[in-house]
Structure 1
Amino acid sequence: MNEPILITSRDNPLLKRLRLLSQDSMAYRKQGQVWLEGDHLCRAMLARGQRPTTAVFTERGWSDAADAMRVACEHRVLVSESLMAGVSGLESPAGMGFLWDLPTRPAPDPAASTVVLDRLQDAGNVGSILRSAAAMGFGQVLALKGTAGLWSPKVLRAGMGAHFALRLVEGLTLDDLRPLAVPMLVTSSHRGEFLHRSELPWPCAWVMGHEGQGVRPELEAMASRSVRITQPGGEESLNVAAAAAICLHASAAARALPL
């Protein structure tokens, strides 16, 4: 395998693309690529059998990199610390990153255990829910139009590699959800049966709504059940990422119980 190519100009086309991908939350949709910065995200991608198109290292990053990182792809480049800082979206730039081609957008799987995101705005919430979904055995996340970009830099960082364990489909409408063949459960802060008293179906589709408005009424009408989380402390509502973690764990625990 050839030695990495040295890049010394900030105007190099590759570095221009990386700056765009790291600074524009929607650039991935036009470019068809994502920039994965840092060892953790890169390892998560490789662990799921994916390969980058380009691997970028600082000189120190190259010397510290594991062999699996160095040989992950044919096209490898070296840049200075300052050039890496210019494309980084992190306060402390990483010593390496991968440029990865997004796969063709998959069709929703009607039978999959699913999390539906209804216009969630906060990238940290979206990434956290992706982590919970992957950890609790949900294989698919469907994002309705108005939800933060699933492959945006902030969601990628918050997801901590969960993206590569999930079927992700975004930009959907309510009509796209109608073919789902699993029971749809919606969360509410003030009505529906209590989660801890519910017999939860598996597989199912949990719907998580907008941080301020909750699940829209049209989507709530499509659900087979409305569920709420007991809050003895008396708070008005829970953060949507916290609520999702509780609900998805409840499904995972119910699934694990002996028959």
Structure 2
Amino acid sequence: MSPDRPQFISSAANPLLKDLRRLAQDSTAYRKQGRIWLEGDHLCGAALARGIQPAIAVFSESAWHAQPARWSGLQARIVLLADALFASLSALDSPGHMGFVIELPAAPAVAPHAASVILDRVQDAGNVGSVLRSAAAFGFTQVLALKGTAALWSPKVLRAGMGAHFALSLVEGVELPDLERLAVPLVATSSHHGDFLHEARLPRPCAWMLGHEGQGVSPELAARAALSVRIMQPGGEESLNVAAAAAICLHASACASVG
């Protein structure tokens, strides 16, 4: 359908609406459909800023009539949903009133020399999204997610990432042998072992390994590290949240790279 003539959906039984609901509420539906749901103008705007055009742009009826001019240049199928239907597909407490369906990017190959982050069974979607934000902010271009890590393109990770996905090369389903393709040193994070971060000579570029919220980096993965570091915690807490630790470590690495 032409972008100039939006399709209006008012029936809860519409097949497209059912697909959208699965994309919005099922963390792995994107793998089956080969498409991703972005909800809210921030995420949609971040995709457009990276040159990513939606296959489908979805608006609540009231949102479309309130501000159609902002999105008038979209070369996509435009779908309008009755407000109650849009609210029914949203997984947000306060629905975003608009969203994009974009094609799932083709799985990239591991880039051997890229500054990277390796996620080892990091399971909380909010933590994963926050790590992606830090990776993009501090110049790490590749994220490798080992099996057991939260689905990188799930709605919750996308919301927490706040657009960082579109600046990164994301590789899911990685297994330990795949890491042999990396030509950069691996750096392991630890709560109790290794050099203190502020004293360590950090290799550059490198691949930071961030582990499971409770168990940390697995022994098998830690054994591959060229360096293990810990963060000084004079306050005496047992450990930091993995997303907070990632931000500290990646910032330190970025500073070492320009020092």
TM interval, shorter chain, is over 0.9
Which residue of the partner structure matches residue 53 of structure 2?
A: 51
Residues 55 and 73 in structure 1, CA contact (< 8 A), matched pair in contact too = no
Residues 144 and 171 in structure 1, CA contact (< 8 A), matched pair in contact too = yes
Residues 53 and 76 in structure 2, CA contact (< 8 A), matched pair in contact too = no
Residue 131 (structure 1) aligned with residue 171 (structure 2): no
How much has 1:89 moved relative to structure 2?
1.0
Residue 237 (structure 1) aligned with residue 239 (structure 2): yes
SS at match of 1:178: helix
Number of residue pairs the alignment of both structures matches:
257
How much has 1:23 moved relative to structure 2?
1.3
SS at match of 1:246: helix
Question: What RMSD, in angstroms, separates the aligned Cα atoms of the two structures?
Answer: 1.1
Q: Aligned runs of 1:79-228 on 2, under 5 Å?
A: 79-228=81-230
User: Percent same amino acid at aligned positions?
Assistant: 65
How much has 1:203 moved relative to structure 2?
1.0
Task: Give the AA of the match of 2:161.
Answer: G
Cα distance in structure 2, aligned partners of 1:43 and 1:122:
25
Cα distance in structure 1, aligned partners of 2:161 and 2:140:
14
SS at match of 2:254: helix
SS at match of 2:223: helix
CA displacement, residues 165-203 of structure 1 (integer Å, 9 cap, x when unaligned): 000001010001111000110001111111001121221
Structure 2 segments unaligned to the other structure (5+ residues) = none
Cα distance in structure 1, aligned partners of 2:250 and 2:42:
24
CA displacement, residues 87-121 of structure 1 (integer Å, 9 cap, x when unaligned): 11111111210001101111111110000000011
How much has 1:59 moved relative to structure 2?
2.3
SS at match of 1:108: coil
SS at match of 2:240: coil
Residues 151 and 157 in structure 2, CA contact (< 8 A), matched pair in contact too = yes
Structure 1 segments unaligned to the other structure (5+ residues) = none
Residues 54 and 76 in structure 2, CA contact (< 8 A), matched pair in contact too = no
Residues 127 and 156 in structure 1, CA contact (< 8 A), matched pair in contact too = yes
State the TM-score, normalizing by the size of structure 2: 0.96
Cα distance in structure 2, aligned partners of 1:62 and 1:220:
51
